[in-house]
């Protein structure tokens, strides 16, 4: 019996971890655009800000997303020589990116309100 309970706990725990990971992935693009909309940033600055907000992201996840956002016309970048190593790529949001971000903010606010209303209904 104990082993069945343990297995059920493990399965439930694994499912919540997967769900949490999917939710984080779903808001990552939004969070990155929010960070870049403040001012031009270097990739490690983005990782630091996300880490400070307790949204852990590795470079292997960030760079492909930045490339996709750039290819979609939402970001641009420029190279800057570094005194302490190779040149750095600094990202900034484009006008299209700002428009897209404003739409994302509206969608996010609507989603948050829907979830709040549903959780209030449950309680």
Tens of pLDDT, residue by residue over 68-111, are 999 999 999 999 998 888 899 999 999 999 999 999 999 999 99
Q: CA 108, CA 92: separation in Å to the nearest integer?
A: 22
pTM above 0.85, yes or no: no
Q: How far is CA 58 from CA 43, 44, 50, 78, 119, in A?
A: 10, 10, 10, 22, 32
């Amino acid at each position: 019996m104990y082993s069945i309970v343990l297995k059920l706990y493990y399965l439930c725990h694994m499912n919540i971890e997967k769900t949490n990971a999917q939710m984080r992935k779903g808001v990552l693009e939004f969070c990155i655009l929010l960070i870049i909309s403040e001012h031009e940033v270097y990739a490690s600055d983005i990782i630091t800000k996300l880490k400070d907000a307790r949204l852990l992201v590795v470079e292997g996840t960030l760079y492909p997303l930045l490339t996709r956002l750039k290819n979609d016309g939402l970001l641009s970048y420029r190279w800057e020589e570094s005194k302490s190593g190779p040149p750095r790529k600094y990202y900034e949001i484009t006008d299209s990116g700002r428009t897209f971000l404003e739409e994302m903010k509206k969608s996010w606010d609507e989603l948050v309100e829907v979830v709040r209303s549903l959780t209030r209904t449950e309680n």
